[in-house]
Structure 1
Amino acid sequence: MTKNLRQLDIAVDASISFASGAQARAAVKALIPDNVNMPKGLSLQLFSKGRGVFVEIRGKGVPMATVINTLDEVLEHLSVAKKVMA
Structure 2
Amino acid sequence: MRLKDTFITHDSDGEQVLIDVTSSFAGLVRSNRTAAFIVECLKTDTTKEQIVEAMYEKYDAPKDVLQKDVDSIVEKLRGIGAIEE
With the shorter chain as reference, the TM-score category is: 0.3 to 0.5
Larger Rg: 1
Given the two structures, how large is their TM-score scaled by the length of structure 2? 0.42
Give TM-score scaled by structure 1 length.
0.42
Structure (1 or 2) with the greater strand fraction: 1
Structure possessing the higher relative contact order (Cα contacts under 8 Å, 6 or more residues apart): 1
